[in-house]
Amino acid sequence: MKISIIFHSETGNTKHLAECIAEGAREAGDIEIKLMPIDEVDASFVEASSAVFFGAPTYSACLSWQMKKFFDTTQLPLAGKLGGAFATAGYIGGGSDLGELVMIGAMLVQSMVVYSGGAFCGDPFTHFGAVAIQAGDEAQTARAKIYGTRLAQKAMELFS
């Protein structure tokens, strides 16, 4: 199984969170994972992927405009794939939840199947997706790894 992780990152924080999520996803089994900045997307790998996770920094209490533009203009074949969202922010309460919800909305518009790895999976109680403040401390990155494992497990359950 293949999983794509597509992210926007200017100063490296969201890239770091993407790497933590990939590390967690690898623990779910025999999965090939490709991390891709939004301007270096490997369309054929995405097409072959069962799941695609999207990450963005929080700008003005929402997702970055670069990631919004990506969703507004992408021609990638995303329909039917499992989707998940993650975000970084400068501050707790800085708007990462709204950014994740806008990404989740965009995934639904793309006809994706969205999963949160959410609160009812137990501790850690992820709600809309993984979040970190800047690059995240040890606890935040540990939560992101578990998020990656949960989403990859769901992808295997649905598509293996």
Ligand X SMILES: Cc1cc2nc3c(=O)[nH]c(=O)nc-3n(C[C@H](O)[C@H](O)[C@H](O)COP(=O)(O)O)c2cc1C
Report yes or no: 3 and 52 within 8 Å, Cβ to Cβ: yes
Q: Which residues contact 80 (CB under 8 A, 6 or more apart)?
A: 111, 112, 113
Q: Which of 4, 49, 88, 126 binds ligand X (CB under 6 A)?
A: 88
Interaction residues for ligand X, span 103-142 (CB under 6 A)? 134
Residue from 24, 94, 117, 129 touching ligand X (CB under 6 A): that is 94
Q: Which is nearer to ligand X, 81 or 84 (CB)?
A: 84
Stretch that binds ligand X, among 6-14, 21-29, 78-86, 118-126 (CB under 6 A): 6-14
Q: Is 130 helix (H, G, I), strand (E, B) or coil?
A: strand
Q: How many alpha carbons lie under 13 Å from residue 40 in its C-beta half-sphere? A: 8
* 12 scored as a contact of ligand X (CB under 6 A): yes
The answer to whether 160 contacts ligand X (rule: CB under 6 A) is no
